[in-house]
Structure 1
Amino acid sequence: MPLNAFHRPWASCLLLACPVALPTLAFAADAPTTLPTVSVSARVESVAAFDLPASLDVVDLRADPWARASLPQALGSVPGVLVRERQNLAQDTQLSIRGFGARATFGVRGVRLYSDGIPATMPDGQGQLSHFALAAGDRIEVIRGPFSALHGNSSGGVVQLWTAQGHAPGSMQLHLSGASHATRTASLRLDGGSQDQATGYRVSAWRLDTDGYRDHSAARRTLLDARLSHALRDGGELKLVGNLLDAPDAQDPLGLDRAQWRANPRQATPQALQYDTRKSVRQGQLGAHWRQPLGSTATVHATAYGGQRTVTQFLAVPVAAQASPLSGGGVIDLDSGYGGMDARATWQWGDGNLELTVGASAERQDQHRRGYENFDGARLGVRGALRRDQDDVVSSMDQYAQAWWRMTPRWWLQAGARHSRVRFRSHDRYITTANPDDSGRVDYSQVTPVAGVTFAPGPDLRLYVSAGRGFETPTFNELAYRADGRGGLALELRPAVSDNLELGAKWRSPSANAQLEAALFRADTRDELAVARNSGGRSSYRNAGHARRQGLELSAQARRGRLGVQLAGTWLDARFRDGFPFCAGAGCTVPNAVVPAGARIPGLPRRHGLLRLDWDGGQWRTALELAGASAVNVDDRGLASAPGHALLHLQASRDWRYARGTLRGLLRVGNLLDRRHVGSVIVNEGNGRYYEPGPGRSLLLGLEWLP
């Protein structure tokens, strides 16, 4: 099948034909069940997610035996969300929501991340998914659209992981699996609590070892995660959470150019082998959350956290490129301490018809950044002479308020605003006659209002409209290098500010066990941040004028007896509305090309979606998934692209029930038809090595013990 098969009529079912079949399946259901009630962290405590004027999804990690395997499998059913495994554990999973976050060259930016209420996004907007404890996960909550802005800087969307809470009696869960490319995973989870249920605990450990799909991509990750909860007087609760991540020497195969990808998608670039490119990460953090009702109408919440993260990364920066006295070398050494707190109070009046929340938050990150040469004489890929030494501080202070009001039995209003101030400070300790003092500072502030109205024509239908403003500051990595090649921070960069509009509809039928949601959205951004040049292993950025992201999301699910169907489809048109100069080529220091107005924002397919059919036979469960994405531009000018693809996945499980628990066998065949495809792209890679190949047909076998 050709690589552009996603354009074929049968694959277009993901976005067009399949919704027609859903009502037929839904209304023919012969075993009515009640749809689960969920609580979404939208800072509205008395209102169900279904009634809010926003796109909110909750993924129940307990319901699907495969949802905890990886984030792409957990979030594949959420429209507007694009999660791409890079087959490279030296770099974090790529995540974007409605086009925000697509240009991140590593980690996650433009999307706000939380784990058990603790931010996994730093004050500058750079986040990591590596310490998400999916093995202990209970649910993942996703917020898209204007109301994401109430979470502050870089909130193009919000993803929150909540782990399970322990209860008495104690229980144990065990997972073991083996997969293609010598991939082994093991996890252990212990839950328990006091007999009166006042205290509960949950401890989990997870380990991954893999040789990797590609050459030079072996990795090992160990994650320990714990949660302790204790009930207080008068309905209060105290929760303590902590986790530790250890990921030593994860090999980085780097991206491939198009010829390399076509010749052998499993190869690593020669530069990766030459410089032994790799990355080590170690992170530990602790957090606490306190909730206490005050009488019958008020509740206070307080969260505090702190942690330490160290990163050492060996890059493939050529020796010649480090000859410049301004070079930061080819080895990055980061040692970061971070912490923060959030406090808010909520009042409810009139039997839940009016709810008001007021709060404030503060965060700080202290980072010691050093750079070294990646050579020592003729030896490459080793730590050499010091070339950079600086102390960076990022801090933020926010205040926010939000209200929800049932104006009439059918009309409901939600509105809020947040004021954010983000401050960057850098103190340069590496000063020579040829490398002057590059210390600097810059402050950003922004007010982000948002409002939405919900109309309820009937008990199972909601229509809504919402609008708001969000913003993205440059991260410290984007401020680090000036576009003109001079030393010092890029203090001239401005935050990107977006005006967001959404129109949506939600329908559900508890009697038929079906639901359908659709949303039209638009985000107009001014001062869009874009790559100005790539040179010598460094990326610098500029404000690229105006950009627009607009599209349609559709999700549906239904079940008839033992057969279920689920659909998630996204159409997205993301473009630069203004042209801007661009530095093409790895050695360029002065812009030599122009990105024309109307060019598509790279890293984003125009269409992507998932269709899933599953059968639940009690002891046996099977599922067939069709996942697809259209072509993706890989550079701002649109001169190169990764072709679209459609992949078929098969999974099955078998339960053996015993008096003390259940033994479950797991089988998954990924990319069943063994189609060659590009799994992810490196946007604007200066050497043209944009492509990170996805794996061919792969097999996973596993066993689980469940209480």
Structure 2
Amino acid sequence: MQGKYHLMPINMTLLCLTACICQNLYAETGSTEPVLLPTLKIEATRTDTDWLQTPASVYRIDQNKNENNLGVNLSETLKGVPGLQLNNRENYAQDLQISMRGFGARSTFGVRGIRLYVDGIPATMPDGQGQTSNIDLSSLDHIEVLGGPFSSLYGNSSGGTILTTTKEGEGRDSIQLGYSRGSHNKGRADIVLQGGTDQANEPSYVISSSYFDTDGYREHSAAKKVLSNAKLTWDLDDGSKVNWIVNHVDINADDPQGLTRVQWKANPKQQVPFLKQFDVRKEINQTQTGLTWSKPINDQHEIYGMVYAGHREVTQYQSIPKGVASPDLGLDDNGNPQPSTSQMNPRHAGGVIDFSRDYYGTDLRWTGKDLLPNTRLTAGLAFDYMDENRQGYENFDANNQFGVKGNLRRDEKNTLWNLDPYLQASWSFLPNWTLDTGLRYSNVHYESKDAYFKAAEYSADQDNGDDSGKTDYDKVLPSAALTWKINDQLNAYASYAKGFETPTFTEMAYSKNDGMNFDLKPATSDNYELGLKSQNQLGNFTAAIFQSNTQDDIVSAGTENGRATYRNADKTLRKGLELSWNKNLWRDLTAQASYSFIDATFDSDISNTDPAKVVAKGNYIPGVAKNQAFVALAWQPETGFNAGLDVRYIDKLYVDDINSDAAPSYTLTSANVGYVWKNADWKVRTFARVDNLFDEDYVGSIIVNDGNGRFFEPADGVNWSAGLSLTKAF
């Protein structure tokens, strides 16, 4: 009864929307000739359909419409996607905060709960841990964002899926040189080489490399980043297509960490003085390569293959105090030695994280068309593997100097892998009705071998012990979507899927007892969506209502001194509404608007021995904005003057599970202008932009459930950037 109660108001909302839009469409088109509108092909759902016919919340963003910016962060391009919350924390040591319909909001670093792909190659590990740092905006072509039930087609941790595709070389050989500057000594230089081919079996190519550095908006937030990407494409005589991609990223970034509310209000640029001694920072080095191959065997059969491999190294210095040894603490009430604190506790893993990771995988699939009347079948197998050597060190030396690598405190070998078979079928069983179904067996296998053992100096009860262990998670994930083609310009759909999200190795790395947290369970969810899409003279319009009922949701159990721990919540509930609209108003003048309402709450109590820390049913899930809105207007001719203006509203963000405080809502306005000149051989592009035009004092992101109360990561005030690029064709 409870599920029906939640769905009833949403169903009424969709019925009203359907009636209003249908009435408008028939009034608009009843007395006019049909209008031919551009077809927008969608690849994310693997259904070979255009945007209008795809029974899912899916959006495509073209990079050539987002060039008037520095080109460093994905947040510069991914704007206005309903349901997608992307917080640029101006902290290059911790990546972006991304959530989709509330999934992934718990992450204090990296990306969780959302699958990321670059040219079909996963940027997410088998356990669901991902990063956006290797996405090269200089060579980016477009992005597809897939939300809702259809995301389960990608398996574990797919509360949403973001698929980026880089450009393929075309036309004459050319070289592009670019340089941009911005506030806080931001600087970025890039070079792009590209060229096409008219000959079969010869590759076209795009090779891109960039260097970025900044002093940072806050104290101790400087960063340097080198990113290179290369893509070779062969269109072969037999109709097959091969892409070979090589990518490398190198980042060195300081971490200013969070502030309390009082500290934020006093000076948003500061780093907490006590933390400066730790020199908190992160070093990242990653190289990967991949190959994709597609081949049509005949009109009915097509095969696809992808293989990839990579190596990633990370060293992170945290702000964990040295602590106090047992003898210094004396005895407890029972006459036993008090447990050591922080890194003096022999169970502690130290204040420096250092790991080296090798990963590889493959995805093979077959597609059959019209083997049965009006059907499309897909069968595939995805394999991913990760092998990690992880060490932990004290962040101090014998002279009590912090911010250096000291004695070894953790040494383990972690492996995880998945082998997921999947099936998809699309059947147009009536002229205006289509049924899409999917089935994936998602399974993830974890094993950790502890190689660090050390007896406690003062108490046998505090021995380091053996934290080795292994566990397996698996779930069958069915999905189904029914599409009704109301007319040539209007489609409605209903969909359902089972979702599955395992804890990541990083989330399992710590527990309240300092060892591996193998007690974490995977989260499972039931996801429902009703949607409506139209494409007509009034523009492209979407409306979707959704509900996700999650069991054993993985939520934060607190973050102290840079160490995040996690636990399971019995039940959580996410429901909401998404609207989007875009239209070419006149000539090269375009408009875009979107709105998201997400009601993300705990659907049961979470008990605690401290009554003040009990999470009550109905509390909001922290880090999720209840309301989001975006409006943009752009004049974008191919050459000449161009300009854009956009406004973004984000509702308040609760900082913890008990909703003790919240980062206030904010509205940001950005404006940009540019000019493009070109002839047969040369192209010159310039731009200038101002972000946070009205100097809003706001918090860009929060550190969910921070145990020290330093939840707030302040964002920049009014800031500028400008750049110039020259392209020469040969």
TM-score by length of 1: 0.92
> What is the distance in 2 between the residues matched to 1:126 and 1:476?
8
Q: Compute the displacement of 1:592 (Å).
A: 6.8
Aligned: 1:503 with 2:530: yes
Identity across the alignment (%): 40
Letter in 2 for 1:405: W
What is the CA deviation profile of residues 402-435 of structure 1, one whole-angstrom value per residue up to 9, with x for unaligned ones?
A: 0111111100110011001101100001011221
Match of 1:570 in 2: 596
AA of the residue aligned to 2:181: G
Structure 1 residues without counterparts, runs of 5 or longer: 1-15, 585-590
Question: CA contact under 8 A between 1:439 and 1:488: conserved in structure 2?
Answer: no
1:423 to 430, 439, 445: 445
Task: Give the 3-state SS of the residue equivalent to 2:41 in structure 1.
Answer: coil
Is 1:236 matched up with 2:240?
yes
Moved more, 400-409 or 613-622: 613-622
Give 1:74-89 correspondences, 5 Å limit.
Answer: 74-89=77-92
Task: Name the amino acid aligned to 1:108.
Answer: V
2:551 corresponds to: 526
User: What is the SS of the residue equivalent to 1:235?
Assistant: coil
What CA distance in whole angstroms lies between the structure 2 residues aligned with 1:49 and 1:648?
29
Amino acid at match of 2:539: A
Pair 1:397 & 2:419 matched: yes
CA contact (8 A) 1:322 1:536 kept: no
For residue 374 of structure 2, what is the amino acid of its counterpart?
Answer: N
Partner SS for 1:109: coil
- Counterpart-to-counterpart distance in 1, 2:572 and 2:285: 37
Q: 2:626–2:652: 8 Å Cα contact kept in structure 1?
A: yes
Q: How does 1:1-12 map to 2 (within 5 A)?
A: none
Which residue matches 1:13? none
The alpha-carbon distance between structure 1 residues 271 and 309, as it changes in their structure 2 partners (threshold 3 A), is farther
- For 1:326-337, what aligned pairs fall within 5 Å after superposition? 326-337=347-358
Quote the offset at 1:363 in angstroms: 0.8
Instruction: After TM superposition, give the deviation of residue 36 of structure 1 in Å.
Output: 4.6
Q: 1:214 to 1:33 in 2, by over 3 A?
A: farther
In structure 1, C-alpha distance between the alignment counterparts of 2:425 and 2:494, rounded to whole Å: 16
Question: What is the CA deviation profile of residues 494-524 of structure 1, one whole-angstrom value per residue up to 9, with x for unaligned ones?
Answer: 1000100000000011xx3611111000000
Matches within 5 A, 1:181-330: 181-196=184-199, 198=201, 199-248=203-252, 250-320=253-323, 321-330=342-351
Q: 1:176 — aligned with what?
A: 179
Change (3 A) 1:661 1:323: same
Residues 576-615 of structure 1 aligned to structure 2 (within 5 Å)? 576-582=602-608, 593-615=613-635
The alpha-carbon deviation at position 231 of structure 1 amounts to 2.2
CA distance in 2, matches of 1:393, 1:121: 15
Report the Cα offset of residue 246 of structure 1.
Answer: 0.7
Q: Please name the residue that 2:386 is paired with.
A: 365
One-letter identity of the residue aligned with 1:59: I
Q: Does 1:682 align with 2:708?
A: no
Deviation (angstroms), 1:583: 8.1
Distance in 2, matches of 1:287 and 1:638, equals: 44
Alignment pair present for 1:551 and 2:576: yes
**In the aligned structure 1, how far is the partner of 2:212 from the partner of 2:111?**
21
Tell me how far 1:559 sits from its aligned partner. 2.3
Aligned-partner Cα distance in 2 for 1:397–1:549:
29
> Residue 613 of structure 2 aligns to which amino acid in structure 1?
A
Equivalent position SS for 1:83: strand
Deviation at 1:334, TM superposition (A): 0.8
Q: May I ask how many residue pairs the two structures share in their alignment?
A: 675
CA displacement at 1:657 relative to structure 2 = 2.5
Q: Which residue of 2 aligns with 1:491?
A: 518
The equivalent position to 2:58 in structure 1, one of 41, 56, 59, is: 56
Paired with 1:104 and 1:679, the residues of 2 have a C-alpha distance of 15
- Match runs of 1:380-459 below 5 Å: 380-433=402-455, 434-459=463-488
| 3-state secondary structure, aligned to 1:108 | coil
Q: Which residue of 1 aligns with 2:362?
A: 341
**Deviation by residue 1:349-398 (Cα, 9 ceiling, x = unmatched):** 17993100001111110111100000112211111111000001111110
Partner of 1:482: 511
* Max Rg structure: 2
- CA shift, 1:705, in A, is 2.7
The verdict on how the C-alpha distance between 1:61 and 1:86 changes in structure 2, with shifts beyond 3 A counting, is same
Q: 2:567 and 2:78 mapped to 1: Cα distance?
A: 32
Does structure 1 conserve the Cα–Cα contact (< 8 Å) formed by 2:184 and 2:216?
Answer: yes
Residues 76 and 82, structure 1, Cα contact 8 Å, conserved in 2: no
- Long gaps (5+) in structure 2: 1-16, 324-341, 456-462
Whether 1:541 aligns to 2:566 is: yes
CA–CA separation in structure 2 for the residues paired with 1:66 and 1:582:
50
1:647 aligned to 635, 646, 668, which one?
668
Higher alpha-carbon deviation: 91-100 or 618-627: 618-627
| Larger CA deviation: 108-117 vs 349-358 | 349-358
Question: Which sits farther off after the overlay, 616-625 or 460-469?
Answer: 616-625
Paired with 1:352 and 1:692, the residues of 2 have a C-alpha distance of 56
Alpha-carbon distance in 2 for matches of 1:303, 1:398:
14
Is the aligned partner of 1:700 residue 2:700? no
- Asked if residue 103 in structure 1 is aligned to residue 106 in structure 2, the reply is yes
Contact 1:581/1:592 (8 A) holds in 2: no
TM-superposed deviation, 1:33: 7.6
Assess if the C-alpha contact under 8 Å between 2:319 and 2:561 holds in 1: no
Q: What is the distance in 2 between the residues matched to 1:594 and 1:475?
A: 25
